Amino acid sequence: MRLILESATRVVAAGGMRGLTHRAVDAEAGLPQGSTSGYLRTRLALVTALTEFIAAGLIDSIEELGRQQQAGEDEVRLVERALDLFVSWLDEPDAWTAKAELAQEATRQPEIAAAMAPARDRIDGIVRQILVLAEVEDADTSAQAVIAAMEGVLNSALTRPVEEREAYVRGVGRRIIEAFVHVD
C-alpha cells in the first residue's frame, strides 16, 4: 500500500489530479495493471487514501515541533525549529505539490474535504497549542493565519529555482512567524 501511495503522490505531482488513475499509479509503481484497483477499488478510495497518506506525514513533523515547544523551548529557538520544519518540507516537493492539488480537489468534492479535515484540525490544534505556550493573543485566529501564510510561502517557494527555495522560505517564513511570536 505504501508503494501505491508513494507512486500516487508522484503521479499527482507530475500530472495533477486529472492524471491520477489506477493505471497511472500501477505504471509509476511498476506493478501489474489492476494492482492498485485491487486495493483501492474506486478513484474516490484512491484519492481519499492519498489524502490521508499525505496528511499523516505533515502531522508527524508538526507534532514533533509541538513536543519540542512543550519541553520549554524559548521563542527564538522555536522560530528556528519552525523554519527548519518548513524547509524540510521542501525536501519532498512531490508530497507538497500533491497536497496542494488535493486541497484544490477538496473544494469540489466534500468527501476529500472530509478526509482532509482530521489532519487540518490536528495541525491547527498543534500550532494553536504552540502559540498559546508562546503567550500569543487570539491563538485560534493566529494559528490559522500562520498555517495559511506558510502554505502560501511553500507553494510560492516551489515555483522558484531549487537553489533559492530555502532562503526564500526562511526569510519570508521568519517575517510571518515573528509577526505572531514575540522574539527577544
Nearest CA to 52 among 97, 102, 18? 102
Q: pLDDT value at position 62?
A: 75
Residue appearing with cell numbers 495541525: 123
Mean pLDDT by 10 residues, the chain (184 residues): 97 96 98 97 94 85 71 71 85 91 92 86 83 84 91 94 96 89 65
Kindly give, in sequence order, each residue whose CB lies less than 8 Å from that of residue 134, ignoring residues fewer than 6 positions away: 69, 75, 78, 181, 182
pTM as predicted: 0.81
From CA 94, how far away is CA 71, in angstroms rounded? 32
Q: pLDDT value at position 182?
A: 66
- Asked whether the beta carbons of 151 and 43 are under 8 A apart, the reply is no
| 48-180: CATH topology | Tetracycline Repressor; domain 2 (1.10.357)
Per-domain boundaries in the chain:
48-180
Q: pLDDT value at position 136?
A: 84
Q: In the structure grid, which three cell numbers stand for residue 175, read together?
A: 517575517
What distance, in Å, lies between the first and last C-alpha atoms of the chain?
47
